[in-house]
Structure 1
Amino acid sequence: MSQEVIRVEDLTLRYEERQKPVLSRLTFSIEEGENMLILGPSGSGKSSLTHCLNGLYPRELDGAMNGEVLVQGQRTDSYPAGEMAQNVGVVFQDPETQFCMITVEDEVAFGLENLNTPHASMVEKVDQALRQVGMEAYKTADISSLSGGQKQKVALACILAMEPEVLILDEPTANLDPVARKEFIQLLKRLKEELSFTLLVIEHKLEGWLDLLERVLIINEKGELAYDGPLHDHLKTYARDIHEMGIQLPYATRTALEQGWTPPYPLHIGDIPPVALPENRPVLSAGKALLEAEAVHWKSILRNINVTFHEGEWMAIVGENGSGKSSFSRILAGIQPPSKGSVAMHGRALKKWKESEMRKEVGYVFQNPEHQFITDTVYDEVAFSLQHAGMKEAEWTRIVEETLKFCRLDGLEDQHPFLLSQGQKRRLSVATMIVENQNMLFLDEPTFGQDEKSTSDLMSLLKEKHENGTTIVMITHDMELVDKYATRVLVMNEGELSFDGQPKELWARPDLGDHHLELPPREQWKRAVLKREEPAYVSS
């Protein structure tokens, strides 16, 4: 009989800055060796729950925690500081937030040092953990030189080295390219076979996880437990209820709902029967040249990039983690100058533009939302640029209130931006940019950390802006977004531009995997259907 490793009894969590509880009267238990998915809309308290499970709360909580959290039958607040890491290890949403050393081996050793691990044993454990995640060749490398996927593996190695009984992963693949995402999930499958640990995963996207995770805990927007039970059975039967909560379903299941099918719903693309296949959207002709990059180099990251952006385009910049996408976009937006080469807007070099003039023309949403917050409240953050543009109070107040409501931030006006959930921070960062009518808008991973509802609302707003003449450039790992919205795609590969064309031209290329890309679900479905419909030839 399996042993209970975690028990949560009547857990309620409140932050000082919020009137309503983040988590409300949660009760559940987790048995040894289980593979559990924690689902819920953005801001439902999923990450806060992990802080309760690993003992960070109530020790570091500015607020109140009621109820009990027991690990191996012992209250988490009764464990000595640091000892909980050997019981419950957490890999956070952004791995860089938990790094504090320069090199890979020092980072993996850091936790062991705090546990007073003997040196000989520490060296062995570091080597073993890096070997387990396939990063032994990077033992002496600087963490700053690693790709996003490699950093995620190092963060995992740091936790594995301490041999926890429970491993919690908070959106571990949100920042990874499609191939790195698949590799990370496969790595977890292998580790589950080799090691004995209980696995909890927080995710917004279910694609790729269905073969690993068996049980699901669903938390609604009020922080209440909405469901606890088998994952597959619940998806097949109650997919519509889950969808209405704002949670993104697998593509096959979403397609079934759109087609009006009845349960049980399919979970995998190969299970969708042939129906009328959607076609590629027609690509409208672009306007005149808006932004031109000529022979752009930057340090050792970017090499000889030449590209012209036209008015009215919706550009997607894609490619492997570490290929230079964010660096290139910051140069295009005038945030940092190139080492060599030039960038011009409306035929005028960016270095000749005043900063105030540039920001009226170009908006930029950073990959890390916190990099652009400058005020103490959500309301002031959205209002800041409008207040300094000389707009009348009645007008900017109306725009701010409409934007907050659309971005599902109403009710959080007085909250400090840094105290929001990761999904709420992303929506706020977008809100601060869309309140102004810039001609060009750059978005670095705009849907990172977002549930289905937030993503849909955001993309609808961007689509409206695009239809009204805004040129949009988005960096994304989400091929479904590229397929659905982009009129043109740039593929970055090791600091160079390796493809420039329409999405349908990219999907026809046989080397997608070489660039850490994959076909979007719609194209995967089309090819699966066509393959099933191919006649079988029998040799005579």
Structure 2
Amino acid sequence: MSDAAVAVRGLGCAYPGTARPALAGLDLELPPGALAVVMGASGAGKSTLARCLTRLVPCFVPAEVTGDVRLLGEPIHGRRVGELAGTIGMVFQDFEAQLFSTDVTQEVVFGLEHTAVPPAEMPERVARALATVGLAGFEGRDPTTLSGGEKQRLAIAGLLALRPPVMVLDEPTTDLDPVGRAEVLRTLAGLRGDGLTLVVIEHDTAAAAGADLLLVLSEGRVVGRGAPRELLADVEACAAAGIRAPDTCCVLAALGLPAPPLDVETAAERLRAAGATPKPPRFLPPPRPLRPPLIDVCGLGHRYPGGHAALAEVSLAIRPGEFLALVGRNGSGKTTLAKHLNGLLVPSEGAVRLEGHDVRGLALEELAQRVGYVFQDPDHQLFAATVEEEVAFGPRNLGLDPAEVEVRVAEALAAVGLDERDADPFLLDKGVRQRLAVAAVLALRPDVLVLDEPTTGLDFVEQQKMMALLRARHAAGQTIVIITHTPWVIAEYAERVVLLAGGRLRYDGPPRQFFADDELLAAAAFRAPDVTRLGRLLGCTPLSVAELVSWMPGRQAPCP
């Protein structure tokens, strides 16, 4: 009998009505205490692997499953999901679907009560799990009042408290801020010391850096298996698999230097040793804005019904044609601020004005046409039976004639690159659903487009498509406001950064100055992109790999 904690042989999975299997001939063996990271583009089979390991497929999701899966040496074929609860646990990609209790403590206790954990042990397990994910002090909070990142931490805490010997986490850090993401990844890596075996599905290569094994999937098959340092160094192979290669690997590969390291400190040493010293141009301060504000936020404060103060004394002006990134730690007040911009929330103090008019006095249909809002989860926004009906809903509600509705639908779908008018929105991939949600808002032709985490849960190719769409809308004159935790998105796309911390405004200015202020980043617990951190060690502040490479001796001027 194998001593492996997880042993998979020839695993195949085919869903009814699909042209190709979701998994084919997959092998995997993990000893106790191992950490494996699974990566690949959307549709590669990552989540299907997780569901097969936990028997959610085929017990709850019908599929033909072949091959052999063993946990702790025991075959799981024919076992019910509940029978495996003490052996394997999972945090879902849609973590909000796991939360249902009335307070944070009960959310964590629920699993303990249903796995026969002695009551005397529960308080210590709950306290340790919440402290581990940074939620100490949240015990009495209603989960529905938490930010997206805080909810994700709570879902992880529920699994940590159970302590099953095998843990599967499907994109467990998608909604976390950079520092929170690093904390959770360190926590998961530390669980190996207790003999726990972890299978982590991720799009972020930072999750793989400390793993024992990296498994790369493409169209249901393993296309890469081995040490993360070796696989991630192959920039072209990463791109082919829909993975954004680490910045350090991209920089050294562009300069023709072999065996790139994953950490920025070692990469900086390698570049110095190779004589690669960047010579950045002199950057002039950005010109002062001349146009009057489109949106004016004046002394804004917001307190939720339970008493939680989410915003205090926030003031800023958003001018026509800006591309603004709203950043900060989970729970800093970003979404709360964004929801005031189009009247989804009403200020407790202060005011929000649209071209001088208090939004509280404007009709909702007028606001919807001026300030469009795309939710963090597109499924909170989509409801129609077809793509066409979804995009047409807003214009029809404005009372537009059918010819004008058709013009707007065609215009919006073309803008986001969708032509599947008759498709069911809920059968589309998340990246496509995200673009559909944007199209539904674009059909109203708003002056301002506000997007809450537009790249969350998307693979690198989908992220690029989404950001290219927003750049195109910005070039067409639309004002763009995005909430994001993704440092490279901020650095490469935003023209202005607004940082919130503890519900207060801490920074408002250009991205380069933001990422160059180490003291500010530390105080706000934020993290610059790896290429920026690498550049800082070499005496400059690049915002992209292309920019840093272009500053090297013999290279041309930065790419626009």
TM-score by length of 2: 0.84
CA distance in 1, matches of 2:509, 2:302: 23
Match of 2:461 among 449, 453, 459: 453
Measured after TM superposition, the shift of residue 494 of structure 1 is 1.4
Cα shift readout 1:251-275 (whole Å, capped 9, x = no counterpart): 1123345x26365344333315235
Matched, 1:353 2:362: yes
- Please report how far the alpha carbon of residue 15 of structure 1 lies from its aligned counterpart in structure 2 after TM superposition: 4.3
Cα distance, 1:235 vs structure 2:
2.0
Q: State whether residues 59 and 81 of structure 2, in contact with CA within 8 Å, keep that contact through their aligned partners in structure 1.
A: no
Task: Name the CA distance, whole Å, in 2 between partners of 1:245 and 1:278.
Answer: 33
Q: Is the 8 A contact 1:143 1:151 kept in 2?
A: yes
1:105 aligns with 2:83: no
Q: 1:486 to 1:475 in 2, by over 3 A?
A: same
The equivalent of 1:268 in structure 2 is: 263
Q: How far apart, CA to CA, are the structure 1 residues paired with 2:62 and 2:490?
A: 41
CA distance 1:22–1:361, change in 2 (3 Å):
farther
Alignment of 1:280-319 (within 5 A): 283=286, 286=289, 287-299=291-303, 300-319=309-328
Offset at 1:385?
A: 3.6
Change (3 A) 1:438 1:43: farther
**Closer/same/farther in 2, CA of residues 420 and 159 from structure 1, 3 Å limit:** farther
Number of residue pairs matched by the alignment: 521
Letter in 2 for 1:428: L
CA drift at 1:106 = 1.9
Give 1:415-430 correspondences, 5 Å limit: 415-417=424-426, 419-430=427-438
Q: Does 1:243 align with 2:243?
A: no
68-77 vs 452-461, which moves further: 68-77
Query: What is the SS of the residue equivalent to 1:530?
Result: coil
The aligned residue for residue 518 of structure 1 is 527
Residue in structure 2 matched with residue 169 of structure 1 by the alignment: 169
CA drift of 1:26 comes to: 3.7
Match for residue 474 of structure 1? 482
Check the 8 A contact 2:412/2:440 in 1, yes or no. Answer: no
Correspondence list, 1:7-406, <5 A: 7-16=7-16, 19-21=18-20, 23-32=22-31, 33-123=33-123, 125-127=125-127, 129-130=129-130, 138-144=138-144, 150-193=150-193, 195-207=194-206, 209-210=208-209, 212-220=210-218, 222-236=219-233, 238-257=234-253, 259=254, 261=256, 263-270=258-265, 271=267, 273=271, 274=276, 276=278, 283=286, 286=289, 287-299=291-303, 300-385=309-394, 389-390=400-401, 392=403, 395=407, 398-399=410-411, 402-403=414-415, 406=417
For the aligned residues, what is the CA RMSD?
3.0
Cα–Cα, structure 1 residues 353 and 145, in superposed 2: closer, same or farther, change >3 Å?
A: closer
Q: Is the 8 A contact 1:169 1:201 kept in 2?
A: yes
Q: Percent identity?
A: 32
User: Is the Cα–Cα contact under 8 Å of residues 293 and 305 in structure 1 kept in the other structure?
Assistant: yes
Change (3 A) 1:380 1:49: farther
Q: Distance in 2 between matches of 1:281 and 1:379?
A: 46
Q: Which amino acid aligns with 1:361?
A: R
1:257-313 CA-to-partner distances (Å, cap 9, x unmatched) read: 5x2636534433331523546666974654332111222221122122221111111
Unaligned runs of 5+ in 1: 532-540
Give yes or no for contact 2:229–2:261 (8 Å, CA) kept in 1: no
1:432 corresponds in structure 2 to: 440
Q: 1:82·1:114 contact (CA, 8 Å) conserved in 2?
A: no
Offset, 1:196: 0.8
Give the TM-score, by structure 1 length: 0.87
Q: Match for residue 536 of structure 1?
A: none
**Residue type of the alignment partner of 1:333:** N
Deviations 1:458-478 (A, max 9, x none): 111211211121111111112
Rounded to whole Å, the distance in 2 between the matches of 1:110 and 1:152 is 17
Do the aligned partners of 1:379 and 1:400 also contact (CA within 8 Å) in 2? no
Q: Where does the alignment leave 5 or more consecutive residues of structure 2 unmatched?
A: 304-308, 541-560
Of residues 430-439 and 482-491 in structure 1, the stretch that sits farther from structure 2 once superposed is: 430-439
Contact map agreement 1:2 1:31 (CA 8 A) in 2? no
Question: SS in structure 1 opposite 2:538?
Answer: helix
